[in-house]
Amino acid sequence: MKALVLAGGRGANMVPFCTTRPKPLIPVAGEYVIDHTLRLLQSAGITTINMVVGHKGDVLKERIDKDRFGDMNIHFIDQGKSGGIGAAALSAKKWFSPDESFMMVYSDTLTTSNIFSVTYQAHCLNNGPSAAVSHAKSSENYGNVYLGKEARITKIVEKPDKNEGLANYVLSGIFVVGYSLFDYLEKNDTNMEKALATMIAKEKVQAAIWENDWLDLARPWDILSANKAIMDTWSTAKIHESVKLQGASVKGPVRIAKGAEISSGAVLEGPSYIGPGSFIGHNALIRPYTSIGAGSVIGQSVEMKNCVLFPKVIVGRMCFIGDSVVGENVDIGAGVMTINHTMDNGEISVRINKKKTESGLTKLGAFIGDNAIIGASNTIESGAIIDAGIKIDHNLSVNKTGRSVKK
């Protein structure tokens, strides 16, 4: 079976990270989201991938690990001007045959086990279309699914009104459909919601009920949730034979990749991940649910907890980075502190696209975009978003002439 992977979305609410990268290139627990998706598709027996790309598509093509997925035939399709998810799917029509079913996958969802196999099994049992459905903490933000007898899907409401009641299940973004989907899209002006409604009316669509973890990367703090969910499946430590452990302490399921160097006095508490070629300085404390990207440098006496660092991050000595996400090639000066709670331990809000958004969390640090530079001795407010490429000067208190400088 072939798969249609829709990977062209901009991810407008995933600021500041998706201004410089497509959403599938968010790293979680040591691998990109797209790598996680391809690995599970590969395990489910999918050998041909038609991947629709759009926003920063060239970056996605470049970063997919061709050696890792060498036995999969991956073909890229440029969706052109953004016209929504239906238009993206329709742009791949010529790469499928009228007599075949295929798996359609939204690339911004993530699971801890193989949801693709379960969806394919539902298709086989039904001998027709199937769609994965899951429980969600708040179903008002997703397409609500209503089920009839034998778990047949009877209705999908893409934008539910919570005042009219919400369904128990939501769409998980994985389907097995026939070539007829393209006809439904064409007849409904590429509107995916209407196309799916037409398919439900004309064909028996089976729900593949998914009871395990399911995560939709919709907001920047969802990266932390996804990272934790995957790391919670780790039970043992994995340390590459090339790793230099110079008197460091490793506790729990810590994964350390090839060529990393861990200095004396450092403490690594699992679950956590240290990427290939990274350096951890003397007396650093790496606490649970920390993921450090490839080629990163963590200075002396740094403390990190529940954070995701993209590749090539530099963190200067004596910093605290907690409950935060740090983009690629970010340089953080010595003594920088991320505040991860309010004075009254209340819920932390984040300004996303000039709109105040409640995170639902009482512990949340900062979100720092790619290539940002944070000068030494700065303190970053909880829920702060620092855009890609921003340069923040050192938080000086005395200048070179000996005069005081306002902080």
Residues 318 and 169 both lie in one domain: no
Q: Is residue 197 part of a domain?
A: yes
Residues 202 and 80 both lie in one domain: yes
Give strand pairing partners of 111. 214
Distance, CA of 250 to CA of 268 (rounded, Å): 5
Residues 176 and 237 both lie in one domain: no
User: CB neighbours (10 Å) of residue 283?
Assistant: 18
Residues 152 and 237 both lie in one domain: no
Query: What are 157's two structure tokens?
Result: 């409401």
Tell me the pLDDT of the chain (407 aa) as tens digits. 999 999 988 888 999 999 999 999 999 999 999 999 999 999 999 999 999 999 899 999 998 877 778 788 999 999 887 678 999 999 999 999 999 999 999 998 899 999 999 999 999 998 999 999 998 776 666 778 888 988 899 988 876 666 666 777 888 999 999 999 999 999 999 999 999 999 999 999 999 999 888 988 999 999 999 999 999 999 999 999 999 998 999 999 999 999 999 999 999 999 999 999 999 999 999 999 999 999 999 999 999 999 999 999 999 999 999 999 999 999 999 999 999 999 999 999 999 998 999 999 999 999 999 999 999 999 999 999 999 999 999 987 665 555 655 55
Residues 44 and 171 both lie in one domain: yes
Q: Is residue 225 part of a domain?
A: no
Domain hosting 44: range is 2-218
Q: Is residue 243 part of a domain?
A: yes
Residues 180 and 243 both lie in one domain: no
Q: Kindly report, residue by residue over 1-13, the tens digit of the pLDDT.
A: 999 999 988 888 9
Distance, CA of 364 to CA of 221 (rounded, Å): 8
User: Is residue 113 a contact partner of residue 169, using CB atoms and an 8 Å limit?
Assistant: no
Give the residue from 169, 196, 218 where a domain finishes.
218
Task: Output the domain CATH number for residue 359.
Answer: 2.160.10.10
Residues 243 and 204 both lie in one domain: no
Domain count within the chain: 2
Residues 10 and 116 both lie in one domain: yes
Residues 243 and 193 both lie in one domain: no
Q: Is residue 65 part of a domain?
A: yes
Task: Output the domain CATH number for residue 154.
Answer: 3.90.550.10
Q: Is residue 258 part of a domain?
A: yes
Distance, CA of 179 to CA of 100 (rounded, Å): 7
User: What are phi and psi for residue 119, nearest 5 degrees?
Assistant: -65, -40
SS (H, E, C) the chain: CEEEEEECCCCCCCCCHHHCCCHHHCEECCEEHHHHHHHHHHHCCCCEEEEEECCCHHHHHHHCCCCCCCCCEEEEEECCCCCCHHHHHHCCHHHCCCCCEEEEEECCEEECCCHHHHHHHHHHHHCCCEEEEECCCCHHHCCEEEECHHHEEEEEECCCCHHHCCCCEEEEEEEEEECHHHHHHHHCCCCHHHHHHHHHHHCCCEEEEECCCEEECCCCCHHHHHHHHHHCCCCCCEECCCCEECCCEEECCEEECCCCEECCCCEEECCEEECCCCEECCCCEECCCEEECCCCEECCCCEEECCEECCCCEECCCCEEECCEECCCCEECCCCEECCCCCCCCCCEEEECCEEEECCCCCCCCEECCCCEECCCCEECCCCEECCCCEECCCCCECCCCCECCC
Q: Is residue 399 part of a domain?
A: no
Residues 249 and 186 both lie in one domain: no
Give the residue from 195, 218, 241 where a domain finishes.
218
Q: Shortest CA distance to 48 belongs to which of 67, 72, 70?
A: 72
Give the residue from 218, 241, 257 where a domain finishes.
218
Residues 28 and 117 both lie in one domain: yes
Taking the model in full, what pTM does it have?
A: 0.93
Distance, CA of 81 to CA of 54 (rounded, Å): 8
User: CB neighbours (10 Å) of residue 209?
Assistant: 16
Q: Is residue 401 part of a domain?
A: no
Q: Is residue 226 part of a domain?
A: no
Residues 206 and 305 both lie in one domain: no
